[in-house]
Each structure stands twice: as structure tokens, then as C-alpha cells.
Amino acid sequence: MRQLRVFDAVARHSGFSRAAAELHLAQPTVSMQVKQLAAAVGLPLFEQIGKKIYLTDAGRALQATGAEMFDAWARLEMQMADLKGLKQGRLRVAAVTTAKYVVPRLLGPFCQMHPGVDVQMEVGNRSAIIERLERNEDDLTIMGMPPRGMDIVSHPFAENPLVVVAPRGHVLAGRRRVPLTKLEGLPFLMREQGSGTRLAADRFLKDRGIRLTIKMELGSNEAIKQAVAGGLGLSFLSLHALGPDAAPRSLVALNIEGLPIRRHWYIVHPAGKRLSVVAQAFYGYLKQEGGNIRVPVLTGFSATGGTVQRA
């Protein structure tokens, strides 16, 4: 099974180094595992053309069989966990990057209630998390915008408002109901394409015919916070990313017409997925605790008004 998982990662990434990074293994270990598997099968699994590697026919057949085996193994694990109830089991949660300010805090008390449960949390931006959802790799997914057109079940469980942040002392800081058009021409720092925050901000601006000057794209909320505080520009960020102990004191939320963008965190899983006992317990726990999650309050943020954005 271990060799198959290594082989599957190499096949998905079409490369040994990316597979090694995903699996947190050294590249020679990955190559060795694939070599041993090829020896066991008796046929080469990859062929190298130029700098790229491709699956051979034997490789493709093995990948398909591997996928069936992983499914069967996951079902077996679930049956075993169900037999053990909540005493023991595994919970695989995938969360979009911004949800990392919310989900671990919820996981803490849940793990204390169920000390035998092993939790694995994967964090990635919205596109990466959607790919995992498509491959049915996790028990539950936490995200801000469940994808449209995918056969999934989603349930909102907490608020996730998006605001425009500026350095304290910015000329618009402290002004009330600033027209959205005032943002045009100001330098903006945006999350990378594929981020849910970026998508929500882009949709909001497009609906209102506003074009921003994007000076820089950054792949993390933390980098954005530091860059805004450093005066490089303004940015759209979830209030959760600015939480009480997450926000540098040097940031403020601007009071802009139509903001905050009112959004939610959703619990998502593929339709028809049979949730394990542990996953059902976590689902129920999120639904119950979601309402108690306090949205951080920041200077300039108004608790009323704003624009509701549907997923």
C-alpha cells in the first residue's frame, strides 16, 4: 500500500520531486519505492521522454487498480472506525487557507472530547482544496465558496466577512461610507488566483464595474497583512485573518460602501458520501459551535450593513 501511494503521487504530479514534497519524503526514497514496485510488477511503470516522465500502459493499469484499492481500504478503515465508535478513528479535514484561523480552534476542544481520534488537517487555497474534494480525499472540507456545478452537499456554519484593510493612518481610515469608486487608482495587494478571498473580491468588484490597480499578488494572508502594514497597498481580507491575536495593531478596516462582503464558512462533502462516525460527530459539532464563533471586531468595521454574497 505504501509503495502504491508513493507511485500514485508520482503519477499524479508527473514527477518525483513534487511527489516527494507532497509526501514529505526524500526524492531518492520515492525513486526507490517506485523502482521496487516496478520490480514486483515486472514491468516499467514510467517512461522518460526528454525531461518529462509518462505512465506506461502497465503504469496506467496499476494506477487504476491502486485507486480501487485505496477506496476499498478507506471503506475498511471506516467500518473499523464505526465498530470502535468515537473511541478511536481518523478524521481528515481539508480547509482553505483562511479557515486556518477558525478550524484549528474548533478542533482543539473536539480532540479533547475525543482523545482517541486522530486528526489530519490539510490546508490549501480554494483551487487546491477543490481538487482534493473532486478526488474525495477528505472526510470533510471547510471552505468559503463551495464550487458550483459539483455534486456536493454544503452547509453554512459560521460567518466569514471580507473587508478592505489599510495601514493605520491611511487617508481613508476613519472616514465613513467611503464610495467604492474611491478605491480605483489606489494600489492593491491581492491574494493569488485560485484563492477564495480573491474570487469573492473579484466578483464583488465586477458586479459593481470597479477596476482596481493590482500592484502585487501574494500567496498568503500573513504576507498580505505585513505588506499592507508596511504601506505597500490595501487589500481584501477575511476578518478572521485579522483576529484578535492575529491582527497587527497597525491595520484598520476601511468603512467602504457595500462592505463588508457578508459570506459564510461551509462544511462540504461529496453528495452520497457515507460519513464515518467520527466525521458525523465533527459535522454536528461544527453546526453547533459555528454560531459561537466570534467575528473579530476591527476599527472601522460595521457590524451591520454590507453586501450578502451567496456561495
Binding residues (CB under 6 A) for ligand PGA: these are 96-98, 125-126, 143-145, 160, 191, 195-197, 238
What distance in Å separates the CA atoms of residue 228 and residue 189, rounded to the nearest whole number? 8
> Whole-number minimum distance, CB 183 to ligand PGA, in Å?
19
Closest CB to ligand PGA among 125 and 276?
125
The 8-class DSSP code of residue 265 comes to E
CA angle, corner 64, sides to 61 and 65, nearest 5? 85
Other Cβ atoms closer than 10 A to 131:
13
Other Cβ atoms closer than 10 A to 54:
12
> Whole-number minimum distance, CB 176 to ligand PGA, in Å?
26
> Whole-number minimum distance, CB 171 to ligand PGA, in Å?
27
> Whole-number minimum distance, CB 96 to ligand PGA, in Å?
4
Closest CB to ligand PGA among 106 and 145?
145
Strands 117-124, 89-96: pairing is parallel
Long-range contact pairs involving 135-138 (C-beta distance under 8 Å, separation at least 24): 136/270, 136/273, 137/92, 137/94, 138/92, 138/93, 138/94, 138/269
- Among 234, 195, 238, 239, residue whose Cα is nearest residue 214: 234
> Whole-number minimum distance, CB 125 to ligand PGA, in Å?
4
What distance in Å separates the CA atoms of residue 224 and residue 76, rounded to the nearest whole number? 43
Closest CB to ligand PGA among 20 and 96?
96
Give Rg (Cα) of the chain.
22
Closest CB to ligand PGA among 123 and 172?
123
Task: Report which residue type is found at 146.
Answer: P
Closest CB to ligand PGA among 92 and 198?
198
> Whole-number minimum distance, CB 261 to ligand PGA, in Å?
10
> Whole-number minimum distance, CB 143 to ligand PGA, in Å?
6
Helical segments of 89-183, H only: 103-113, 126-134
- Among 137, 114, 109, 111, residue whose Cα is nearest residue 124: 137
> Whole-number minimum distance, CB 98 to ligand PGA, in Å?
4
What distance in Å separates the CA atoms of residue 37 and residue 9, rounded to the nearest whole number? 13
State the residue number with the nearest CB to ligand PGA: 196
Closest CB to ligand PGA among 194 and 258?
194
Closest CB to ligand PGA among 238 and 255?
238
CB-based contacts of 80, cutoff 8 Å, min separation 6: none
What distance in Å separates the CA atoms of residue 98 and residue 222, rounded to the nearest whole number? 10
Closest CB to ligand PGA among 59 and 196?
196
